[in-house]
Chain A
Amino acid sequence: MNLIWHDAENNSTINQYDAGSALTSLALRLSLLKRVLLAAGWTVVASSNGTTKVVGSDNSGTFSVLNSWIILCDPAGVRCVGFQVGTSYKDRLTVKYVAAGGINTTTGSATAMCDANVIAENCVVLSNRPVCECAGYIHAVADTTAPYGFYLINAYSMQSQAASTSFCIVYDPLTNCHASETDPYVLVVYTDNTNSIVELVANASTASMAFASGWQFRGTASAIFGGINMITWRCNTSGDENIRHLFPKGIPADTHRGQEATFMPVVWGGQKGVKGKSTMLSYAGSIYKTYGTTYTVSSTRDRILWGGIFVLPWVGQKVIM
């Protein structure tokens, strides 16, 4: 993994402050993420500034115009992800995912993203979804090496523990998948603020504003693209969240190594089985610390805490909160 962040135009993707505005927050986030992805080797398939569709180059600008969109393809030229701001409101987000077969650039328009060449691959992760415009700091990184994971996370500044976690987009390559798995990825798009992020993300498709999506049993008669759950490990049926689970929340300290926290990779799956193990998200053993807390696990500041409970790979930099 070679995570990079991109610092250009005086808009650092590390410690980028978002003042919080229904008119500008989503545009700022998408702009930052786009720059990071392009710096990491992603290419533009097609884009629009809301009035003019362009194939093969970036016309999405700063996403400040309604309907602006962009579809990016990973450095391997295989998987595509598209982002679009709202049709009537600038704080509405649409995300599209195409796992294989590429994009039919003859489709789409200035106000609508292109479709996949294979219609069955045209997966809409969420459509015109309201986005929390909470003020706070944004952190965005992308892996320049296969399998090209990336994320953008955001939360209230000085956020304490899990309270009021807000926006994230996490493109999560998986390991330990079934030998027959053809798309070992999960795309998490979380659009609101909450103080119970685990429950919402873990609940996936049944929650109102938390989405982890991906293919399950692709290539079989049971194949479906939709909500993917975070698998948790319950050791007790108590109603007290603190004692219900080993992961998350149940094992704060790693007493074997004398470290202050125990991490375990998130396992993704659905009702019908496991999809795989996350390379981007780990559970911290317990809810504690503020957003932006960094950890040194293998190298200096190589992990960052988000949502009070999730630990992601980090680039060694200090963060400002």
Chain B
Amino acid sequence: MAWIYKLTDNSPTLNIRDNSTNYGLIPTMMYTLKECMKAAGWTCIACGTGTGGAVYADDTGPRITVTVLKSNNYAWFAMRAPNNKKIIMFQRCDYMYYWRIRVIYDGGINADGTATKIPTAVVSTNSAVWLGGGTDAAPTGLMMTSAPTGGVAHVACDNANNYSFYVCSYVEGTKATIAVELCMEALTNPDVSDVDPVVYLHCQPYYGWIDTEMTANTYGWYKGVAGTYVFGNIPTATCCYKYNTTWTGAMGADPWTGYDQCLPLLYGANWYLYGGGCFKGWSTNLHVIGTDRTTGSTRTIATTMDKIQIQSLLFPWDGVTVPA
């Protein structure tokens, strides 16, 4: 019942660095995400080691290493959530910083994967591409970050509550080149009938307010007017006062406690933008903070340093370790 920040092998998840090669941080952080998800209860149920490699029904060893992800095009791994329903398949494409991700909320996968091709879903309508494009046979990836060298990344995964996770990176002390490479966010107060009460976020490269950027880059299943679920954009709504004035960076501290004020995000499919839609839920882990600060600052909201600030967003944090 907690966020997992540290791995049993003591490899860092809080302050990940890899300047061994341009964009080397990306395969390192994706490897770390895989291991962090395992530590939170996920299981790697299949993988392919990419061009020139093989396909496996496990990740013993592990088979998917940082080296594999740095060097082998189309290497992939499939992670199954502790609820034995959700499966997320991560695949490196033709560069180490281009990735494609498919999510399946229920029904499992077939045993038809290859070294370079992810398996198909048993129930195809339960499956959607979260990141990237092309087809499973000819995948195209999306760039994961705009920072080729330097910077720090963080990875964390919740071992409960729909098993949220996030991967983010930035160059310390700046607000540019920020990326929320991946974030699966469990929702608060979703509809009880929601088949997949989470949203999926990828947000990079970033040059404006990150909460504005999130509007166009958050996805999930919503129930359309036809009564069937559609995977599509779930805009992130941030709070405004005076009808249309953004609150981000303007709230300041709580006069009662002196701590920063922050607010959750609201997710929903906008009828007018998308021809259908519904209320999806409130954010559980991400919050917009009322005071803009340098990215990477830790914040005390409920307990000591329980959040880390990525531009105007707060992510869960472990309470003790400060990015060095």
Nearest A residue to B191 via CB reads A256
Q: Establish whether residues A250 and B272, one from each chain, have CB atoms under 8 Å apart when the complex forms.
A: yes
Let me know if B193 is at the binding interface, CB within 8 A.
yes
- Residues of B within 8 Å of A272, CB to CB, are 251-252, 255, 261
The number of chain A residues with a CB under 8 A from chain B is 50
Let me know if B276 is at the binding interface, CB within 8 A.
yes
Q: Establish whether residues B236 and A256, one from each chain, have CB atoms under 8 Å apart when the complex forms.
A: no
Known interface pairs A255-B277, A256-B223; A235-B256 also in contact (CB < 8 Å):
no
**Could you tell me which residues of chain A, from 229 to 260, have a CB within 8 Å of some CB in chain B?**
229-237, 240, 242-247, 250-258
Among A24-32, A53-61, A215-223, which stretch is in contact with chain B?
A215-223
Q: Establish whether residues A234 and B238, one from each chain, have CB atoms under 8 Å apart when the complex forms.
A: yes
- Residues of A within 8 Å of B255, CB to CB, are 217, 220-222, 272
- Residues of A within 8 Å of B279, CB to CB, are 246, 251, 254, 256, 262, 264, 285
Known interface pairs A255-B227, A262-B278, A269-B241; A236-B256 also in contact (CB < 8 Å):
no
Q: Establish whether residues A233 and B266, one from each chain, have CB atoms under 8 Å apart when the complex forms.
A: yes
Let me know if B237 is at the binding interface, CB within 8 A.
yes
Nearest B residue to A228 via CB reads B241
Q: Establish whether residues B271 and A231, one from each chain, have CB atoms under 8 Å apart when the complex forms.
A: no
Q: Establish whether residues B241 and A229, one from each chain, have CB atoms under 8 Å apart when the complex forms.
A: yes
Q: Establish whether residues A235 and B241, one from each chain, have CB atoms under 8 Å apart when the complex forms.
A: no
Let me know if B304 is at the binding interface, CB within 8 A.
no
Among B22-30, B130-138, B152-160, B242-250, which stretch is in contact with chain A?
B242-250
Let me know if A77 is at the binding interface, CB within 8 A.
no
Q: Establish whether residues B243 and A178, one from each chain, have CB atoms under 8 Å apart when the complex forms.
A: no
Q: Establish whether residues A236 and B235, one from each chain, have CB atoms under 8 Å apart when the complex forms.
A: yes
**Could you tell me which residues of chain B, from 192 to 238, have a CB within 8 Å of some CB in chain A?**
193-194, 212, 215, 222-225, 227, 235-238
Among A67-75, A81-89, A140-148, A201-209, which stretch is in contact with chain B?
A201-209
Let me know if B290 is at the binding interface, CB within 8 A.
yes
Of listed A178, A220, A271, residue having the most chain B CB within 10 A: A271
Docked CA distance A172–B323 (Å):
45
Q: Establish whether residues A255 and B243, one from each chain, have CB atoms under 8 Å apart when the complex forms.
A: no
Q: How far is the CB of B16 from chain A (nearest CB, A)?
A: 31
Let me know if B268 is at the binding interface, CB within 8 A.
yes
Docked CA distance A162–B194 (Å):
32
Q: Would you mind naming 25 contact pairs between A and B with Cβ atoms under 8 Å apart?
A: A180-B256, A217-B256, A220-B256, A231-B247, A232-B244, A233-B238, A233-B240, A234-B239, A235-B238, A235-B268, A246-B235, A250-B270, A251-B271, A254-B279, A255-B278, A256-B279, A262-B278, A267-B239, A269-B241, A271-B242, A273-B261, A274-B261, A274-B263, A285-B271, A285-B279
Let me know if A41 is at the binding interface, CB within 8 A.
no
Nearest A residue to B254 via CB reads A273
Q: Establish whether residues A271 and B250, one from each chain, have CB atoms under 8 Å apart when the complex forms.
A: yes
Q: Establish whether residues B242 and A229, one from each chain, have CB atoms under 8 Å apart when the complex forms.
A: yes
